[in-house]
Amino acid sequence: MPEGTDDPALSAEEELALARLALADGDLQHAADHVAAALVQSPTLPEVHETLARVAVASGGDLELFPLGHHAFVGAVVARAHLLAAAGRPAEGLDLLAAATGYAPGVDWAGVPWVIAPELAERLDPERAARILMQVCAVVPDPVPRRARDPLRPYLALARNAITVHPGHALLLGAASALARRIGEVALAVTWASRGVRAEPSKLGEVWLGYAYRSAGRTREALAALGRAVAHDPDDLAVYADIAGTLADNGRLDEALDWIDRALARDPSFDCAVHTAHRLRFQRDNDVAHLVALADFIRDHPDDTHEHGDLAECCRSRPWLGQVTPAGGPMLDALRHALAAEGAARVAVRLDALEPPSAMRTV
């Protein structure tokens, strides 16, 4: 769209019409730009991919028609992904599709035949496939809201196909389990994570299995798996925090605090342990000092390992912490009554104590 205009985006059909005109004139760059814009409007429309193929043939597969950079257009990124796949470089294409999913998770960027084709899994190294699945998991919520899951199902189809080809690859099974769990396929997540741990016991595999069990409501097995993860790596304090959170969620607050104290004894400044500790202590005694200390920690440690929601969770729906408390008192109650009556009734107020000056001034 030219700078300085506020015209709405063209439809995919309009963009394709302009792309075909540009192709007829030999203007490949403008044709590519319109195809990229059409992909944003309708990323799975067959006509868009047919026109992209025509651009590729006319340009000899020139990827630079869809450049990457610090501020790459998402349509260009997706178009380049499809051209890479067509050129026999599907892993690179999947990397770009995963990046587009991170930019706009609710768009069906991967819902195209080459991604879900069984033969793709035969051409992918299983470790590379696992990394791509992990890349997708890293950019979507856990769990993904039900309404936003469909655009991620092509990646789940890719995971199924890859596991069919590489049934004993532990990293692939674990990454596939993490994706399945996020989009509500909990039983499948447990199955894949269990197979991964049997194939190659590891800390990461046990963590994936613990998360899958936890999502399935199988708390005892989840805690057992997370405990085995600690045995694999006693220095990974994030797992201690996961165990503490799981225990607290199931009403076992004293045990949860024991675990978090064990983590803090190893590293008093580890962010996951500090956030979890303050949240659980506030949960135990409702002392706002814990939240003040957590807010101070967040201010003094801006470079946490990842985003935490403990402070927001503790403050949610609490007056003056998560929301401003509505003003009250007899004068303001009377004012609301008078406004509701729209002048149809007189309102008398008897005060037994002094009202706040702000209430009197408002009336």
Percent share of the chain, pLDDT over 70:
97
CB of 65 within 8 A of CB of 30?
A: no
Where is average pLDDT lowest: 15-29, 178-192, 287-301, 331-345? 331-345
Residues 76 and 18 in one domain: yes
Q: Dihedrals φ, ψ of 323, to 5°?
A: -160, 155
> Measured between alpha carbons, how far is residue 88 from residues 114, 120, 165, 205, 278 in Å?
11, 10, 19, 31, 51
Structurally, the chain folds into a number of domains equal to 4
How confident is the model over 227-241, as a mean pLDDT?
97
- Specify the DSSP class assigned to residue 10: P
**Cα–Cα distance measured from residue 341 to residue 321, given in angstroms and rounded to the nearest whole number:** 33
Q: Give the domain range for residue 43.
A: 1-87
- Domain boundary, last residue among 233, 251, 281: 233
- State the pLDDT at residue 90: 96
Per the domain annotation, does 71 fall within a domain? Answer: yes
Residues 276 and 359 in one domain: no
Can you list the positions of beta strands (E) in the chain? none
Residues 50 and 120 in one domain: no
- State the pLDDT at residue 245: 95
Residues 124 and 197 in one domain: yes
Per the domain annotation, does 104 fall within a domain? Answer: no
- State the pLDDT at residue 251: 95
More confident residue, 232 or 327: 232
pLDDT over threshold 80, residue 345: no
Residues 43 and 121 in one domain: no
Residues 140 and 219 in one domain: yes
- Quickly list H helices, 267-329: 271-285, 289-300, 310-315
pLDDT over threshold 70, residue 1: no
How confident is the model over 32-46, as a mean pLDDT?
96
CA-angle at 206, arms to 186 and 167, nearest 5°: 70
SS3 content of the chain, % helix, strand, coil (to 5): 65, 0, 30
Each residue's pLDDT tens digit, 105-156: 999 999 999 999 999 999 999 999 999 999 999 999 999 999 999 999 999 9
Instruction: Give the residue among 160, 171, 163 at the shortest CA–CA distance from 131.
Output: 171
**Cα–Cα distance measured from residue 246 to residue 235, given in angstroms and rounded to the nearest whole number:** 19
Per the domain annotation, does 180 fall within a domain? Answer: yes
CB atoms within 10 A of CB 237: 23
- State the pLDDT at residue 319: 87
CB of 232 within 8 A of CB of 203?
A: yes
pTM of the model: 0.84
- State the pLDDT at residue 9: 63
pLDDT over threshold 80, residue 305: no
How does residue 4 score in pLDDT terms, banded at 50, 70 and 90?
Answer: very low
The mean of the pLDDT values for the chain is 93
Give 25's contacts (C-beta < 8 A, 6+ positions apart): none
- State the pLDDT at residue 343: 66
Residues 28 and 83 in one domain: yes
Assign residue 265 the CATH number of its domain. 1.25.40
**Cα–Cα distance measured from residue 222 to residue 227, given in angstroms and rounded to the nearest whole number:** 9
Where is average pLDDT lowest: 60-64, 78-82, 130-134, 321-325? 321-325
Residues 7 and 76 in one domain: yes
Per the domain annotation, does 315 fall within a domain? Answer: yes
Residues 169 and 194 in one domain: yes
| SS3 call for 204 | helix
Each residue's pLDDT tens digit, 175-216: 999 999 999 999 999 999 999 999 999 999 999 999 999 999
Residues 209 and 120 in one domain: yes
Biggest distance spanned by C-alpha atoms of the chain: 87
